[in-house]
């Protein structure tokens, strides 16, 4: 009769606990319910729920222990009692005179008194599918507290606790994966909006040689440092390398080191945990974690702050990343591509860039030639850009006069392909406005709107027979056009970030805004 009543009582305890667990909001509340029921069943002054993480147990929830005990990691080799519990198949009760040190000595109660030494200790392993995932412990300051345990009830509680912990792990893994995919999706959507091309266009010898280099390096997982002038197409080369690599089925993520405030670069690159700094209200994966098994392209790597460079170097050496505020690392498999328009060896000499990081990045250097070195490709590139602009404007077919191509090919293009793209966009717009009712848009030299008297490979203007300069427009107008193109190109390269564009151009941000208003670039 007594055994029957005990079974009924145990069933009632488990039923009430199951009902409360079903109504609980979040795993923290479920942990509290489990620990409360466990403590009521076994007695004692303190109970704890520990989750196995590698070769350690992490205290994820507790009752009766000092606040600083939570989230402590107990290495199994250093705590023999926990080691015994983890290797047991059932509940373990340690004798009061056990000589093994107790991990909770001095932690029971809120004052952490050194006199609060454990005299009674018990624990039980939490197992799912024959795999240890954690443990539950109970401790008391008095002796012989756990001599008369209701083992069937304790065993049932361990099943509930193991199931709850296993479910929590699955939910956390799904949430982390979902958050990662959401971040990747947002990044790709932004990237798709920003990207207008991505294809290496041209048939010249220098472009063919560049393609051969891309095909060669794409086969490996070597890091690549892409150098070249602003607007030459460094990102296009990076995308071509990724597209030809074995990682092409994964996304290529991009991070422009010049467009982020210095205070956010570390978090954006490495991620952070909740509470790591003011405003860190939730955990967040950095670009390196998001690019696991894929490719990360670091544009303007020369702008990476000096105090961040050692952390990137450590990742390149170890393949492990540590979030800001975290106490553990994660092993990643990321291919890193970097680009810069700076002379990094010169920056190293001036101690503005770390020499060891430069050598780690410069495993395979690729130089992107400026547009003036393959001017024969200008008609092909212009034709591709004109198709993009035509669709944006909703106009008919675009054709270039032969003298328009001759003018473009004779120009030095200091802004390279980016400048050419901007010039084509304005030229097609101007040409289409002259004859809005006609289906064919013909682009003439006057539609280009730039001083094309600067020959490719030269910094001198054409002159008259008497030796005097003969500019195609007044000097003031030519200078304003050049400034306008330079500013627009820098803002475009920096993703619309005017602060980054100011740093790129080496001017004060407020002065850049004033100049942009004077040139009618912005209101």
Structure tokens at 187: 């990044």
Distances (CA, A) of 487 to 118, 231, 356, 494, 498: 71, 12, 34, 11, 9
pLDDT confidence bin for 110, thresholds 50/70/90: low
More confident site: 116 or 337:
337
pLDDT value at residue 191 = 58
- The DSSP letter of residue 414 is T
Nearest Cα neighbor of 264 from 286, 239, 242 is 286
Tell me if residue 396 falls in helix, strand or coil: coil
Structure tokens at 423: 């010039």
Q: Tell me the backbone φ, ψ of residue 94, rounded to 5 degrees.
A: -90, 140
- Using an 8 Å Cβ cutoff, are 339 and 234 in contact? yes
The predicted-structure confidence for 450-500, as pLDDT tens digits, reads as follows: 666 445 544 443 333 333 333 445 556 666 777 788 888 888 778 788 888
Task: Answer whether 0.85 is exceeded by the pTM.
Answer: no
Residue 257 and residue 300: Cα distance in Å, rounded? 6
- Using an 8 Å Cβ cutoff, are 135 and 82 in contact? yes
- Domains with residue ranges and CATH for the chain: 2-173 (3.30.450.40), 195-367 (3.40.50.300), 372-518 (1.10.8.60)
- The DSSP letter of residue 89 is S
Q: How many CA atoms lie within 13 A of 226 on its CB side?
A: 28
Residue 432 has pLDDT above 50, yes or no: yes
The predicted-structure confidence for 275-295, as pLDDT tens digits, reads as follows: 778 777 788 888 999 999 999
The predicted-structure confidence for 322-361, as pLDDT tens digits, reads as follows: 998 888 888 999 999 999 999 999 999 999 999 999 999 9
């Amino acid at each position: 009769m007594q055994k029957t009543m005990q079974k009924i009582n145990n069933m009632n305890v488990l039923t009430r606990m199951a009902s409360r667990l079903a109504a609980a909001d979040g795993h923290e509340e479920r942990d509290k319910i489990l620990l409360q029921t466990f403590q009521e069943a076994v007695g004692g002054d303190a109970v704890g729920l520990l989750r196995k993480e590698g070769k350690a147990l992490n205290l994820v929830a507790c009752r009766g222990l000092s606040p600083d005990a939570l989230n402590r990691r107990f290495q199994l080799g250093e705590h023999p009692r926990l080691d015994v519990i983890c290797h047991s198949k059932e509940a373990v009760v340690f004798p009061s005179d056990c000589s093994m040190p107790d991990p909770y000595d001095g932690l029971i109660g809120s004052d952490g008194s050194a006199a609060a030494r454990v005299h009674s200790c018990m624990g039980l392993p939490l197992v799912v599918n024959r795999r240890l995932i954690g443990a539950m412990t109970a401790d008391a300051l008095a002796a012989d507290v756990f001599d008369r345990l209701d083992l069937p009830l304790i065993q049932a509680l361990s099943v509930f606790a193991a199931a709850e912990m296993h479910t929590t792990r699955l939910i956390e893994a799904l949430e982390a994966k979902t958050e990662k995919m959401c971040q990747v999706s947002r990044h790709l959507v932004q990237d798709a909006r920003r990207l207008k091309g991505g294809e290496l266009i041209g048939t010249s010898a220098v472009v063919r040689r560049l393609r051969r280099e891309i095909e060669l390096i794409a086969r490996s997982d070597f890091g690549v440092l892409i150098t070249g002038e602003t607007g030459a197409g460094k990102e296009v080369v990076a995308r071509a390398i990724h597209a030809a690599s074995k990682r092409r089925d994964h996304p290529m993520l991009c991070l422009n080191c010049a467009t982020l405030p210095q205070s956010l670069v570390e978090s954006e690159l490495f991620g952070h945990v909740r509470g790591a700094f003011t405003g860190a209200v939730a955990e967040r994966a950095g670009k390196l974690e998001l690019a696991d098994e894929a490719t990360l392209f670091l544009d303007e790597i020369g702008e990476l702050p000096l105090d961040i460079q050692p952390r990137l170097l450590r990742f390149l050496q170890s393949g492990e990343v540590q979030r800001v505020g975290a106490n553990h690392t994660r092993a990643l498999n990321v291919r890193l591509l970097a680009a810069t328009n700076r002379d990094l060896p010169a920056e190293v000499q001036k101690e503005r860039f770390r020499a060891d990081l430069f050598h780690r990045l410069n495993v395979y250097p690729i130089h992107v030639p400026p547009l003036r070195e393959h001017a024969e490709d200008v008609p092909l590139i212009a034709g591709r850009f004109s198709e993009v602009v035509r669709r944006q404007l909703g106009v008919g077919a675009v054709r270039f006069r032969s003298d328009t191509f001759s003018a473009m090919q004779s120009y030095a293009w200091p802004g390279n392909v980016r400048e050419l793209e901007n010039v084509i966009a304005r030229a097609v717009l101007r040409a289409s406005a002259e004859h809005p009712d006609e289906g064919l848009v013909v682009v003439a030299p006057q539609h280009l709107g730039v001083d094309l008297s600067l020959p490719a490979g030269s910094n001198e203007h054409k002159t008259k027979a008497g030796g005097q300069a003969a500019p195609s427009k007044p000097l003031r107008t030519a200078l304003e056009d050049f400034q306008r193109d330079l500013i627009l190109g820098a803002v475009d390269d920096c993703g619309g970030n005017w602060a980054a564009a100011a740093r790129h151009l080496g001017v004060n941000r407020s002065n850049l805004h004033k100049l942009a208003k004077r040139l009618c670039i912005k209101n």
